Structure 1
Amino acid sequence: MLDTLASRHVETRAIITGGAQGLGLAIALRLVAEGCPRLVLAGRDEVKGAGAVDLLAAAGAEASFVCADLSRVEDCFRLVDTAAAEMGGANALVNAAATCDRGGLLDTTPEIWARLMDTNARGPFFTMQRFAEQAIARQEPAAIVNILSMVIHCGQPFLAPYTASKAALAALTKNLAQAHRRDRIRVNGIACGWMDTEGEDATQRRYHGAGDDWLEKAEAEQPFGQLIKPAEVAGLASYLLAAEAGVMTGSIIDYDQNIAGAYF
């Protein structure tokens, strides 16, 4: 199927936060498979970043990695400015970077709240701000995909600040889509359910005492017998960034096998 889509992204110049692993890297690989020639990835781990760049280069793309802490506004700006210097400005942005510390109403500290809000909401906001400023200055159409979570509908009790941060980004997705329609900047979001990533593996082991068989047990309980795979979501993200998505903006798509609001 990818052969028939090989030219979908030949004009795409993409920034992908969280692009060194997991869903961010899966989206990067999908874009390259569909013709994207230039990408700038961002993350905190330089070793993983270098590995991701090598993978994309082997697939035929020019890619670079910016080591950045996206809870820092100056790093958000530096990322977008680096993309401008290296590839003349980006016309596609994926905000996939996030942190997922645990915390409920009674045990969330101010530090946990600030870390989650700064990384998951403030960071994407100021990354989008700089990205939009540059796209408008170039008078170039652009597209943004924000990676959200199904917790925006409620979330588990131990994910209160994470839920708040992703709900904030969901509201921003719609607000900025409305604000920048006439600048031809489309903004959409994907609310993902439980996903099989190395980050989730680390989370399960760190917070829930999971053993080596946690994934097998978790998948056995799911309606479709699996957790979501990053490559599956990558196809949707690619579509939302592509010109064939047309005028679609301000949409938040639930990507899950469990239905929000269902009770059985």
Structure 2
Amino acid sequence: MTGPHPAGQAPRAAVVTGADSGIGRAVAVALAMRGMDVGITWHTDEAGADETAAEVRGHGRRAVVARLDLTRLPGAAHVIDELAERLGRVDVLVNNAGTGTATPFLDITLDALREVLDVDLTGPFLCSQRAARRMIAQGGGGRIVNITSVHEHQPRVGAAPYCAAKGGLGLLTQVMALELAPHGITVNAVAPGEIATPMTGQEDEDVSRTSRPGVPLGRPGDAREVAAVVAFLASGEASYVTGASWAVDGGMLRMGPMAGSHLRDDQWRRP
């Protein structure tokens, strides 16, 4: 094969929403390690966002920080433009900010439903529009990665709004991939299983010491394991990957997320 590599120019600037801790922080740092300046958003933990920014700068890259409240739509999405202006461009958007519920279907209020759908589905939709328009205007293509969940693919009791939003974001990813492909913009989803983060009450947990009998790999995931997949999808090397959903779940989807998180012994391993 001769001629230029189809990956083109390496991405230089990324925006990662919800990057004040957990998967978002790990993604921001992973992208910085791969030579990108990073825009970081936070909702309630400004100090956490500043810590993420310090880690990014520790790898010799620029970091800019802004608050993003996806319950205040459509106006909140302007933060993507603000960060892109401060960075000088945007080559990568990672829609990581999210929320959920642990409420039985019959007890969920309309307000709770709307909040989860706004944060987990409508927010990424509007943020992606902003980023894609800028990518098209600046030329050179781009990368959008939507952080969904294993519940993009399979349900969980008590998480009706979350599952609906993540399932919707998964199909939105596929439509975006089709429509943005002519502009050289790839769009993929990353679907984590149980990851040791503040959202799951496991911040700074040594995942190798935590038993999860219902997960084939036998443990929760580390946020850096998710970030590594995101970093690949955000890179030039992933130039022919679009419209896909990448499960990072230790095999949980092979078991079903309910079994993966609720089985208490290894009896299932025996024929």
| Alignment deviations for residues 19-58 of structure 1 (CA, whole Å, 9 cap, x no partner) | 111001101111111222x110111121211121112112
1:246 Cα deviation from its structure 2 partner: 1.8
Q: What residue in structure 2 maps to residue 40 of structure 1?
A: 39
Per the alignment, residue 233 of structure 1 pairs with: 226
Deviations along 1:170-207, one digit per CA (max 9) or x if unpaired, are 0100011011110111000011111100121079xxxx
Instruction: Supply the AA of the counterpart residue of 1:24.
Output: G
Normalising by structure 2, report the TM-score. 0.84
Measured after TM superposition, the shift of residue 93 of structure 1 is: 0.5
Output the CA distance in 2 between the equivalents of 1:166 and 1:9: 31
Q: Residue 38 of structure 2 aligns to a residue in which SS?
A: strand
Does the CA contact (< 8 Å) of 1:71 and 1:122 recur in 2?
no
CA offset digits 1:199-219 (Å, max 9, x no partner)? 21079xxxxxxxx9xx96654
1:243 lines up with 2:236 in the alignment: yes
Residue type at the aligned position of 2:41: A
Q: What does residue range 253-264 of structure 1 map to in structure 2 within 5 Å?
A: 253-260=246-253, 262=255
Deviates most, 240-249 or 114-123 = 240-249
Distance change in 2, residues 1:122/1:51 (3 Å) = same
Q: Give, in angstroms, the shift of residue 123 of structure 1.
A: 0.3
Using the TM superposition, name which of 222-231 and 86-95 deviates more: 222-231
Where 1:226 maps in the other structure, the secondary structure is: coil
- SS of the equivalent of 1:140 reads coil
* Cα deviation, residue 11, structure 1: 3.7
Q: Structure 1 residues 107 and 216 mapped into 2: Cα distance closer, same or farther (>3 Å)?
A: farther
Whole-Å separation in 1 of the counterparts to 2:17 and 2:69: 10
Aligned residue in 2 for 1:69: 69
The one-letter amino acid of 2:190's match is I
Name 2:260's counterpart in structure 1. none
Shift of 1:60: 1.3
Q: Which runs of 4+ in 1 moved over 6 A?
A: none
Distance in 1, matches of 2:100 and 2:184, equals 32
Contact 1:15 1:39 in 2 (8 A): yes
> Does the 8 Å CA contact 1:191/1:253 hold for their aligned counterparts?
yes
* Residue in 1 that maps onto 2:100: 100
The separation in 1 between residues aligned to 2:19 and 2:57, in whole angstroms, is 14
> Is residue 22 of structure 1 aligned with residue 15 of structure 2?
no
Return the alpha-carbon distance in structure 2 between the equivalents of residues 246 and 217 of structure 1.
Answer: 36
Secondary structure of residue in 1 paired with 2:196:
coil
Runs (5+) with no aligned partner, structure 2: 1-7, 257-267
Distance 2:255 2:29 in 1: 34
Task: Give the drift of 1:81.
Answer: 1.4
1:47-95 residue CA offsets vs partner (Å, 9 max, x unmatched): 2111211121122111011111023234543211112321222010001
Sort the Cα spacing of 1:90 and 1:76 in 2 relative to 1 into closer, same or farther, 3 A: farther
- The corresponding residue for 1:80 is 80
Q: Are the structure 2 counterparts of residues 9 and 197 from structure 1 closer, same or farther at C-alpha, using a change threshold of 3 Å?
A: farther
Secondary structure of 1:260's partner? Answer: helix
Question: How many Å apart are 1:239 and its aligned residue?
Answer: 0.5
When structure 1 is superposed on structure 2, of 187-196 and 146-155 the one drifting more is 146-155
Asked whether the equivalents of residues 69 and 75 of structure 1 are also in contact (C-alpha less than 8 Å), the reply is: no
What is the aligned-residue identity percentage?
28
Task: Please state whether the residue corresponding to 1:73 is helix, strand or coil.
Answer: coil
In structure 1, what is the Cα distance between the partners aligned to 2:33 and 2:9? 9
CA pair 75-227 structure 1, distance change in 2 beyond 3 A: farther
Structure 1 residue ranges without an equivalent (≥5): 1-7, 204-211
